[in-house]
Amino acid sequence: MSLHAQLSPEAIARLHAQQRNSTISSILISILVVVLAGIVLLYILLPQIESFTPEIVSYQTGQQDKEIIEKREIARAVQRQPSAPSSSMAKVIAANVASPVAIPVPDTVVDSPSLELGNGDDFGDGWGDGWGVAGGSGGGFGSTSKLDGTITGHLYDFKQSPEGEALSDYNIQNRAHFTDRINRLHRSRYSDLSLDRYFRTKQPLYVRYIAIPFSNASDGPRFFNAEKEVKPSGWIAHYHGQVVAPKNGTFRFAGAGDDYLSVTVNKKFRLVAAWSDIMDTVAVRGANATQHPNHRSPIGTAPLTYGDWFTVRKGQVLDLSITLGERPGGKVGFVLMLEEKGVDYRTTSSGQPVLPPFSMGPLSPQDVADLKKFPGWEWETENVPVFLAK
């Protein structure tokens, strides 16, 4: 009978655990040895990568000749107001004698003689005393300050794109290039979208009434501080705002424009008055209803035009736009009046009623004095319905 020694279960378990630990340790050591050997082999066998900083080579072409851009210099007027006129206009207009002398435009060079130079050599007393100067009371082309009783206007140039590039399809000698654009604006009722097709100057002006005697066409751009950007032809000044009717009543506009004047009320044309050579082309039914042969205007031979009657109620808010335009350059002039139905106005020797200006604010003593200096023309300055601008 032989004797066999046997281990206890606890000893067997401990022995198995030691075996597992030894096996795991051996495996880990083998893996580490293989990895280490691989690293050593890579370091020995692979070529060393050289690092370098690439040389930056620049190339320079020969210096090009500078392009010489010829730019016409435009002399700025020393004064910001139109030149002082004499008192000869009214007398010469009465004689209806055309002057053989071309009237120069001081600020820019006009490409061609104007067809609308008017009669006589100047424009009446007092024009150089400051009346209508930009920054003044809101007459003329307007004031640079936003005054009570004024609406806002901007100058637009048909000859340039909105970015200020010259348009090759505009010729100041071609009447249709002006009238086609005016009629397009008529169809859109002077919408912002239609006006955005043309170059607009930065400086706005604020106008209370329209009374501009014959003056240089360059005065329009100059008043808007744009004499360098806009040549004195193919431009419009567009004023827009809201006014309030002062009373219940029936009214009509009367006016004259060299070359173009229009008024809309609530987007409906109530007056279109233009120089005779374009009047038939830009006429709007109801807006140039009447022209009295013996009713003259103060704008040379431009006819005095009356619009249709329209009725308003007191306190009614009206959307109003007024547009002035010049086609070929030379001279401009504009007047806008308002006639109230049933009012017994005083008359001139020819029976023409003396009408008040259409005013969007109360006339100050200075305004009244300015209107009395308007050459060869009478205004009603006491009974003036004021359609107050909001």
pLDDT in tens, 241-256: 999 999 999 999 999 9
User: Which of 135, 174, 116 has the alpha carbon at shortest distance from 303?
Assistant: 116
Q: What percent of the chain has pLDDT over 70?
A: 73
Helices within 104-212 (DSSP H only):
175-188, 192-195
Q: Given pLDDT bands bounded at 50, 70 and 90, which one contains residue 376?
A: confident
Residue type (1 letter), 367: D
pLDDT at 227 over 80: yes
What is the predicted pLDDT for the residue at 319?
98
pLDDT digits (tens, 9 = 90+) for 88-142: 333 333 334 333 333 333 333 333 333 333 333 333 333 433 344 444 567 789 9
Domain 89-389 of CATH type 2.60.120.260: yes
Q: Given pLDDT bands bounded at 50, 70 and 90, which one contains residue 333?
A: very high
- Residue 149 contacts residue 360 (beta carbons within 8 Å): yes
Higher pLDDT, 211 or 32: 211
> What would the mean pLDDT of 218-240 be, rounded to a whole number?
96
> What would the mean pLDDT of 379-387 be, rounded to a whole number?
96
Beta bridge partners of 272: 262
Residue type (1 letter), 3: L
> Considering all CA atoms of the chain, what is the largest pairwise distance in Å, rounded to the nearest integer?
169
Residue with tokens 């808010």: 317
- Residue 308 contacts residue 286 (beta carbons within 8 Å): yes
What is the predicted pLDDT for the residue at 350?
81
What is the helix (H) or strand (E) element at residue 310, kind and residue range? strand 310-312
pLDDT at 86 over 50: no
The Cα 240–Cα 263 span in angstroms is 10
CB burial of 308-339 (b: ≥16 within 10 Å; e: otherwise) equals: bebebeeeeebebbbbbbbbbbbbbbbbbbbb
- Residue 353 contacts residue 347 (beta carbons within 8 Å): yes
- 3-state secondary structure at position 20: helix
User: Which of 324, 98, 53 has the alpha carbon at shortest distance from 211?
Assistant: 324
Residue type (1 letter), 229: E
The Cα 386–Cα 357 span in angstroms is 9
The Cα 142–Cα 144 span in angstroms is 7
Query: CA of 289: how far to CAs of 17, 180, 269, in Å?
Result: 119, 21, 11
Contacts of 384 (CB under 8 A, 6+ apart): 356, 357, 359, 363
Higher pLDDT, 70 or 92: 70
User: Which of 77, 78, 84, 76 has the alpha carbon at shortest distance from 130?
Assistant: 84
pTM for this prediction? 0.67
- Residue 305 contacts residue 293 (beta carbons within 8 Å): no
The Cα 390–Cα 386 span in angstroms is 12
User: Which of 177, 179, 225, 219 has the alpha carbon at shortest distance from 200?
Assistant: 225
| Most confident segment among 26-30, 294-298, 342-346 | 342-346
The Cα 171–Cα 169 span in angstroms is 7
pLDDT digits (tens, 9 = 90+) for 287-296: 876 777 788 8
Cα 62-66-72 angle, rounded to 5 deg: 175
pLDDT digits (tens, 9 = 90+) for 318-329: 999 999 999 998
